[in-house]
Chains A and B, each alone.
Chain A
Amino acid sequence: MYDFDFANPATLDEAVAALGRGDAQALAGGQTYLPALRQRLAAPDTIVSLKRVEGLSDIEATVDTLRIGAMATHARIARETADRFPALSRLAGNIGDMAVRSRGTLGGSLANNDPSACYPAMALATGATIHTNARDIAAEDFFRGMFETALDDGEIITAVTVPVAQAAHYEKFVQRASRFALVGVFAARYPDGARVAVTGASSGGVFRWTEAEERLSDRFEASALDGLTIAPDDMIEDLHATKPYRAHLVSVMTRRAVEHA
C-alpha cells in the first residue's frame, strides 16, 4: 500500500473535521477498503478511523424498531439482534467469515454499497432510515446504483433505524469464490404490506421487486409467487452467472425467503 496519515478521532466532530481535510477516507471496518489499499488501488492522504468514535456502536431497541450504530460489527449485530429480529441476525451472521464479521460494520457496508452486499437488501426491504452526521436518509433514497449512495463527501453514517418486521427472512445464494451474494433476497412482512429487496442481481444495484411485493401483500405465502418471473435484461452477467440464471435465482430465492420467513 501507499503511505498515508492515520487519524483516530474520539468524537464525531473530530471525525468530520478530519474527513474535511484533503483527500481523506473514512475507515469503518476496512474489510473491503484494506485489501484495496494493499493492492494499491486507493491512495488517500489520510485514513480516518471511526473505531474510537463514541456512541457509534450501540444497538438500541424500541417497541417496533432497532437503532443500530453504524460501527456495530456484523458479529455484534448477529449476537444482539437474534431475539428481536432473527432475520437480520442470521443475515449478519452469514456475512464473510469470523474474521470479517469481527471487523466489518453495518455502516461501512452501507456506505460502500457493493452490489453484492447483504445489508442493502435488508435496509431496502425493511424501509430503514440511515442517519448521518448531517441528516436522515430513507433507504429508498440512499442507494444510487453500484457503489453509489446519497452520501456527500465527508458525510458519516452514524446509525440505522430498522423497523422490525412481523415476519422476514434473507435468502442468500452465494457466489462460491467470494461468498458474497450472487443473488440475495430479503422478504419482509409488515402490517401495511410486504417488501422484497434483491441484492447481487441487477446491474443497477439493490432494488425492490414490486411485482413480488404486490402479490405477497395480498398473501404472504410462497405460492402467491407462482408464475412470477423477472426479466433478465438488467441482470448482471459475469463469470459466475448468466442474466437468465440470475433472473431465475431472483424468483427462487424470493420464494425460499418467504417460505422461511
Chain B
Amino acid sequence: MLDGGIGTATKRREDVRFLMGRGKYTDDHTPAGTCYAAFARSDMAHGRIVSIDAAAAEGMPGVLAVFTGADFADVGSNPAGWLINSRDGTPMYEPKRPVLAHGKVRHVGDAYAAVIAETREQAMDAVEALEVEIEPLDAVVDMAAALADGDNRVHDDLPGNQCFDWGWIEDNREATAAAIEAAPHVTTLELVNNRLVPNAIEPRCSIGEYDPGTGDYKLTTTSQNPHLTRLLISAFVLGIPENKLTVIGPDVGGGFGSKIYHYGEEALVLSAAKRLGRPVKWTATRSEAFLTDAHGRDHVTRIELACETDGTFIAFRTETMANVGAYLSNFSTATPTFLHGTLMAGNYTVPNVYVNVKAVFTNTAPVDAYRGAGRPEATYSLERVIDKCARELGIDPIAIRRKNFIQPDQYPYASAAGLEYDSGNYDALMDVLERRADLAGFEGRRAESERRGKLRGLGINSYIEACGIAPSNLVGQLGSRVGLYDAATVRVNATGNISVMVGAHSHGQGHETAFPQIVADMLGVDPATIEIVHGDTSKIPFGMGTYGSRSLAVCGSAVHRATEKVIVKARKIAAHMMSVSADDVDFADGQFSVPGTNKFVAWGDVALKAYIPHDFPLEEIEPGLEETAFYDPANFTYPSGAYACEVEVDPETGVVDVVSMVAADDFGNVVNPLIVTGQVQGGLAQGIGQALLEQTTYDADGQLLSASYMDYAMPRADDLPTLVVDHSSVTECTHNPLGVKGCGEAGAIGSPPTVVNAVIDALARGGHDVAHIDMPLTPVRVWTALQQA
C-alpha cells in the first residue's frame, strides 16, 4: 500500500484552511460594485396577493430596484427533477414554482418581492416600506386534513392537495394484501418521521454578476452541485445558455441536501445583476434559513409486518403520507418514492413488499432530500416495526433479524422492493456489533443503572441503503429527468504535478484529501503533488455534484477511469522514450520500465515529455497528458450496517441519555478511514438529533413555532456519547472499479431507530408497556407516555 494512497488515514488537508479561518465562502466574495438584495417574505402561510405598491420603497435611500412576482411571470418554473406517476397511471401534479410568488403566497417565508439597494440595511429598510395587501386564506397544514378537504387548496386547481398516489410495486399490491391476510402474526405500527430543518452552519448566499461586454453571467452560490444548478437555470428557469453562465460553488459550509436545489433567490440575483449592471448579493439570515431552506423527512406512516410465529417474515406493507410542502423542490418527488419505497425490503428475504405513498401539498416550506433522503424513513419504519414484532413474539431483536437476513451466498439478490443488491454480509456486521458493543455485558450495565434509579435499554438496528446515486439507465426508467453520472479530468502538468477536476462538490466530505489518494495510489506518486479542482463550471467537467453518498462511488470511479486513461497514454510516451512497444512497458511505483532490461523512465520525465514533444510520432501520440472520464454506475451501491445503542431513561423526568452508540458498517473498500469515521460520526450526531431533539412544529395557522435555535434543538457535543465506528467488515461493491459503496448518510440512516428501539426497551425493562413514542423523544413525550402506560 502506498503511504498516503488508498486505505491511508490521512488528515484532511482542507481542514488547515477551514480551522484557521482561511476558507473562502460565498459571502466572503464581494466583487467591486456589489449591491445587496433583501426579500419581502410572507408572514402568513396562505394568502392571495391583492396589491404591492413599491412607490415609497423605490424612493428610499440607496434603493436601486424593486422586483415582484409580476417581473418573473413569464420566466420558467423551477422544476421537479422526477416525474412520478400515480397508481392509476396519471402523472403527478406539478405546480409552477416561480422565482417570486405571484398571485398567492403559500408558506410563511414565501418571497413575493425583492429590493436591491446599495447596502443590505437599506434593502431591508425598503422591504419594510413596501405597501402590501395580502388577503389571508385558511392554511393547509395537517396532511390528512389536506387530503380530505376539497375546498382549501394550496394550488387553486388541485382539490385535495394530493401531488401523487404512488404504488410500489403496484403489481405486488394484491399478493402482499393476501399474504398479510393469511399470516399467523401481523404487527402494525403507526409512526411519524419528524420534519427536520437542515441547519447548515453557513446560511444560503448567492451573488449574481453580469458582464455587459461579453453577455456572460456568473453565479457564485452555496451549491452542492454547480452544474445541476446551471442546468436548472439554463434549461428551465431563465433560459441563459449554459455557455454564457458560470456557476461557482466555492467553499460551502455544510449542505446535508439543502444546497442541492436551485432556489428562486439565485435567479433573482442573476436577473437583478443584468438589469442593474452590477453584482448583486444576497445572504440569508438564520431566520430565512429556518423558513425557506428545503426541510427534510415529514412522513406519517402506517406499516404492517406479517410473519410466521417463529419470526420468519412474510410481508411488509407501508402506507405513507409524505409532506412536500407548498412547492415541489427539485428532488422532492424522488425522495419519498424511489429513495424510500425501494428500500422497504431492508436486509431481509421477505417475499412480499408493497408501499403506497401519497405526496401532499401543504402551506409549509418545501420538503426535500435531507441526509439519507427517503432511506432513513424506510429504515425507521421497518426497524421499528421489526422491533415491535420481536417484542410481541418474545424473540430476541438480534435473533429475529439474523433469522431473516439475506445470506452471503444469495448475491446478487433481487429484493422484493425491486432492487438488485450486489453484495453484503449482514451476519458478519452483527458479529462485529456484538463484539464492539459488548452486548454480553449489557445486563451488568443495566443493573448498575438501576441502582442509580435509571432505566437502561438496548436498541438494535440493521440497515441497508441504496447509494452511489445513480445508474442513469435505471433512474430514467423510474422517472428521473436527469442523468446521474459523474465526471473527472486528470491533468498531468508538465513538471509532473497533477490537477484533478471533479464534478463532485466538497462541502465537508474531504474530497481534497481523498481523491488525491486514489490518483496517488494508481500512479505511485506523492499525494501532495495532486490538487483537486471543484465547484466551478468553467473549470470542471459536467458532473452532477455531491449528495446521496455518491462522490466516491460515482465521481471517484470517474477519477479512477480518467487516471487509467492517463496511464495508458503515459505508457505510450514512455515506450516511445525507451524505443520499445507499449506492451513491453511495466508501470509501478511511479516508474516505467522494460522488464528484463535496465531501461526505465521516471514519471516526471514522461510528464515533461508529453508537453515537449519534439520527437513525437504525431500520428500515434498526441502531445499533452490529460484525460477525462464520465462514469455512469451500473447499479446503486448498497452499504449496510448493524448499530447498537444504550440509553438511560430517568423515569422521574423522562430525560433520555444516550450512553453508548456503536456503528458497524460495510462501506466496501475504504479510501480514507479517518474521513469515513468522521462522516459516520457526523451522521450519528444528526440521527441522534432527529431521535431526541429536533422538533419542527407548524401551528394550525402554518406559523413555524420552532423557527430559531431558542426552540429548535440541534445536537451538541454534550448530548452525544463517544461514537464508536467500525468499518472493518467489508464486502466490495461488485460493479465499480474501486469496490466502494459510500458512507456519507449511513449514520443518519441507522441511528434514529436504534435510539428509539433502545428507549422502548428501557421502558419495557422497567415494566412500562409503551409500544411506541414518536420522535423526537423529548422528556415531555417520554414522561407523558410513562404516565399513560
Residues of chain A whose beta carbon lies under 8 Å from any beta carbon of chain B: 1-3, 39-40, 173, 176-178, 180, 239-242, 244-245, 248-249, 252
A-B contact pairs, 8 of them (CB 8 A): A2-B121, A40-B124, A177-B710, A239-B695, A239-B705, A240-B711, A240-B778, A241-B779
Given contacts A180-B710, A245-B784, 9 further A-B contacts (CB under 8 A): A39-B287, A176-B719, A176-B778, A177-B706, A177-B709, A177-B714, A242-B780, A242-B784, A248-B783
Docked pose: A47 CA to B77 CA in angstroms: 46
3 pairs of A and B residues whose beta carbons are closest in the complex: A177-B713, A176-B713, A178-B710
Residues of chain B whose beta carbon lies under 8 Å from any beta carbon of chain A: 121, 124-125, 285, 287, 652-654, 692-693, 695, 697, 705-706, 709-714, 719, 778-780, 783-784, 787
Chain B: minimal CB distance from A51 (Å): 24
Chain A positions within 8 Å of B695 at CB level: 239
Chain A: minimal CB distance from B661 (Å): 18
Docked pose: A3 CA to B697 CA in angstroms: 33
CB pair B780–A245 under 8 Å, yes or no, is yes
Docked pose: A39 CA to B291 CA in angstroms: 14
Docked pose: A186 CA to B661 CA in angstroms: 35
Chain A: minimal CB distance from B363 (Å): 19
Closest to A253 in B: B653
Closest to B706 in A: A239
Docked pose: A39 CA to B285 CA in angstroms: 9
Docked pose: A16 CA to B124 CA in angstroms: 32
Docked pose: A1 CA to B128 CA in angstroms: 13
Chain A positions within 8 Å of B784 at CB level: 242, 245
Chain B positions within 8 Å of A3 at CB level: 121
Given A177-B711, A178-B709, A239-B706, are A252 and B652 neighbors across the interface (CB < 8 Å)?
A: yes
The majority secondary structure among interface residues of chain A is loop
A-B contact count (CB 8 A): 49
- Give the most central of B124, B654, B693, B711: most A CB within 10 Å: B711
Chain B positions within 8 Å of A2 at CB level: 121, 125
Chain A: minimal CB distance from B107 (Å): 19
Closest to A249 in B: B653
CB pair A178–B124 under 8 Å, yes or no, is no
Closest to A176 in B: B713
B653 in complex: contacting residue of A1, A173, A242, A244, CB < 8 Å:
A173
Chain B positions within 8 Å of A40 at CB level: 124
Docked pose: A242 CA to B788 CA in angstroms: 14
Docked pose: A244 CA to B652 CA in angstroms: 13
Chain A: minimal CB distance from B121 (Å): 8
Docked pose: A244 CA to B780 CA in angstroms: 10
Chain B positions within 8 Å of A240 at CB level: 711, 778, 780
Closest to B709 in A: A177
CB pair A239–B652 under 8 Å, yes or no, is no
Docked pose: A213 CA to B674 CA in angstroms: 56
Given A176-B778, A239-B697, are A245 and B783 neighbors across the interface (CB < 8 Å)?
A: yes
Docked pose: A178 CA to B707 CA in angstroms: 12
Chain B positions within 8 Å of A252 at CB level: 652-653
Docked pose: A241 CA to B778 CA in angstroms: 9
Chain A: minimal CB distance from B40 (Å): 13
Docked pose: A40 CA to B285 CA in angstroms: 12
CB pair A239–B653 under 8 Å, yes or no, is no
Docked pose: A185 CA to B668 CA in angstroms: 53
Docked pose: A40 CA to B127 CA in angstroms: 12
Chain A positions within 8 Å of B697 at CB level: 239
Closest to A251 in B: B652
Closest to A177 in B: B713
CB pair B778–A177 under 8 Å, yes or no, is no
Docked pose: A176 CA to B779 CA in angstroms: 9
- Give the most central of B287, B697, B710: most A CB within 10 Å: B710
Docked pose: A252 CA to B706 CA in angstroms: 27
Closest to A39 in B: B287
Chain A: minimal CB distance from B710 (Å): 4
CB pair A177–B653 under 8 Å, yes or no, is no
Chain B: minimal CB distance from A213 (Å): 22
Docked pose: A110 CA to B711 CA in angstroms: 22
Docked pose: A40 CA to B288 CA in angstroms: 14
Docked pose: A244 CA to B710 CA in angstroms: 22
- Give the most central of A3, A39, A245: most B CB within 10 Å: A245
CB pair A241–B780 under 8 Å, yes or no, is yes
Chain A positions within 8 Å of B783 at CB level: 245, 248
Chain A: minimal CB distance from B120 (Å): 11
Docked pose: A176 CA to B718 CA in angstroms: 11
Chain B: minimal CB distance from A95 (Å): 15
